[in-house]
Structure 1
């Protein structure tokens, strides 16, 4: 017989800090939760968004002409980066707009599963792209003068690996928050 766990209690923690944007003598836009951007989860989300966007920019600007050479590794990398950026942007937007959303979603299993899946997606697609870049673009880099695709795509998969590690750390922190360990 499986023991029952009981009901799940979700609590919303009120913030003691001032909210909104501090102007000369008052607070403007008090509906915004800008304190989230200064917290560790906020900094992690900003890093994930900024570095993921940088990877996507490198891949689109330098790898698009060689997508046929890189094959499915290029498409899988772009797909993984795009869905991770989109979901991170939505989470960051919701967390900045609503403090209740921040507390409720971080207590749920969603963000833990999302970050774990994003970590796996980044690390797997970056390793696949790294293999293909070194196998097919490196020989072109050695023979063709001013060949920029190899260094750019190498930077893209290396920074993508870093973003995957950041998502992994964020998944660990979300899991601790989910379990109530703080």
Structure 2
């Protein structure tokens, strides 16, 4: 006999109506939750989007010409970066638009699992890309003057590793929030 579990209780925390933009004599766009951008989860999301975009821009600008040399590791890196930026941007947008969304999604298991998988994706694809860049692009860098792909792709996988660590830290914070520790 399987023991039955009680009902799942979702708590909607009180919404702080202090959002919006202060104009000279009134408050505009009170539907925006701009306070979110000033706390730790908001700053983590901004860092994830900015650093992820930096990695993607380096990879697209300097790595596309050598994608055949780097093979599947380059494609894996771009895929990991693209889906993480897209999901993080969507979460950031939803959190800024609605404080209730932040309260409900943050206390669910979704963000913990997303950040854990994003961290693993970044760290694994960056380590694979780092190996391939070292093996295939470094020899070209040593013999070709002004060869920019090697330093750019090296920066891309190193910053990508940093973004993976930031996602891992965010996963830890989300898990603590999920468990109610704050």
TM-score, normalized by the shorter chain, greater than 0.5 = yes
- Is structure 2 residue 88 aligned with structure 1 residue 88? yes
Structure-2 residue corresponding to 1:12: 12
Q: How far does residue 3 in structure 1 lie from its aligned partner after superposition? A: 4.4
TM-score (norm 1): 0.97
Structure 1 range deviating more: 4-13 or 85-94? 4-13
CA 1:81/1:29 → structure 2, altered by over 3 Å: closer, same or farther?
A: same
1:27-176 alignment runs, 5 A limit:
27-176=27-176
Distance 2:4 2:177 in 1: 22
- Secondary structure (helix, strand or coil) at the match of 1:44 reads helix
- After superposing the two structures, state which structure 1 stretch, 53-62 or 12-21, moved more: 12-21
Aligned-residue CA RMSD in angstroms?
A: 1.1
CA distance in 1, matches of 2:101, 2:137: 45
How far the C-alpha of 1:5 sits from its partner, in A, is 3.9
How much has 1:22 moved relative to structure 2?
0.8
| TM-score using structure 2 length | 0.97
Single out whichever of 19-28 and 40-49 deviates more from structure 2: 19-28
> Unaligned 5+ residue runs, structure 1?
none
Length, aligned pairs only? 182
* Residue 9 of structure 1: how far off its partner (Å): 1.6
- Shift of residue 13 of structure 1? 1.8
CA distance in 1, matches of 2:3, 2:131: 48
Structure 1 runs of 4+ aligned residues shifted over 6 Å read: none
- Aligned counterpart, 2:181: 181
